[in-house]
Every structure is written in C-alpha cells, then in structure tokens.
A = this chain, B = another copy of it.
C-alpha cells in the first residue's frame, strides 16, 4: 500500500491525504479502526448474549463475521510485519486489547453458557474459542494466499463443519 495508490483509490491527490491524516500510520490505523469496529462491537456484547439463541447459531454467526474481518483487516495487519517500527508502536498502543481479545470474549461467552448448563461442565471454553477463531483466521489467510477457489470447501460449508466439530468439544 503506497500513498499514491491510496490517493488514486480515494480520488484525491497525495497532498490532500495529509490534510486528513498526519501521516501514513495514522491513515492506516484509521482504516483498521473503521474495519474492525463492527466486529469489536459484536465481540464485546457476546458474553451478555449467553442463554439466548442456540449455541450453535451463535457460533455460526461469530465464525462468519470472524472470517470476514480476518480477511479484510487481518491481512492488512499482516502487512504490518513488513514495517517493524509501525508494528512496535502498535503493540505498545494496544495494551491489553490486542486481536486475541476476541478469543477471550468468545471464551467468556462459552463459560457463561456453561454456567447456564447449556454446554458440558467438562468442556474447556478457552480451548474451544481458540480452536474456532484459529480455524477462521487460518482460513482467511489461506484464501488470501492461494485464492478462494483453491480451497477444498466453500466458506459456508467450512463454517458448518467447523462449528459442528467445535460443538462436539462442548457436549
């Protein structure tokens, strides 16, 4: 992502970009913020949703959103690895709220469902959350890396099978 490309995509001159953002980093973070906000909102509300809908429906919804956001922004975030200064500053700014926070929220949701007796008392909420979101994260990476079509399953089928497997963990 170069400033020239961003400017062309925005229909602005490069100079105009600098009226809206101090530098490329600020612009980058703004874009990330916009793309992430809906998902973050959804994830933050997640624990309070325990008890409503079925767990299966809930996980399916989360998986879909996760793949979407990981595809959009996860890949942008990966590009951070090419600019270590930015990465370091991000790490610092994140504080406790890194991308693994989503896993924590999903884990907490599952813990509450456990309290409600809707899933097995022996299940591990944290592990289930890591498995589900991890699988979605990797799927987004694969799709970007080799192309959506090169993957063995459609996204819908992937979600269905993956959530079903996670549910087996929870019974």
Select from chain B the residue with minimum beta-carbon distance to A137. B138
CB distance from A100 to the nearest CB of B (A): 5
| Contact among B78, B126, B139 for A130, CB-based, below 8 A | B139
CB distance from A144 to the nearest CB of B (A): 7
Query: Is A41 interfacial (CB 8 A cutoff)?
Result: no
Contact partners of A103 in chain B: CB under 8 A = 138
For chain A, the count of residues having a C-beta within 8 Å of the partner chain is 49
CB distance from A31 to the nearest CB of B (A): 15
The residues in A between 115 and 135 inclusive whose CB is less than 8 angstroms from any CB of B are 123-124, 126-128, 130-135
Residue interface bits A94-111, CB-to-B below 8 A is 1, else 0: 100011100110000000
Select from chain B the residue with minimum beta-carbon distance to A160. B127
| Contact among B1, B77, B138 for A134, CB-based, below 8 A | B138
Instruction: Please determine whether A123 and B162 come into contact, CB atoms closer than 8 angstroms.
Output: no
Listed in ascending order, the chain A residues whose CB lies under 8 Å from chain B are 1, 75, 77-79, 81-83, 87, 91, 94, 98-100, 103-104, 123-124, 126-128, 130-139, 141-142, 144-147, 150-153, 158, 161-162, 164-166, 168-169
21 intermolecular pairs with C-beta atoms under 8 Å apart = A99-B145, A100-B142, A100-B151, A104-B152, A123-B168, A124-B161, A124-B164, A126-B152, A126-B153, A126-B161, A127-B161, A127-B162, A127-B165, A130-B135, A130-B138, A130-B162, A134-B134, A134-B138, A135-B135, A137-B141, A168-B169
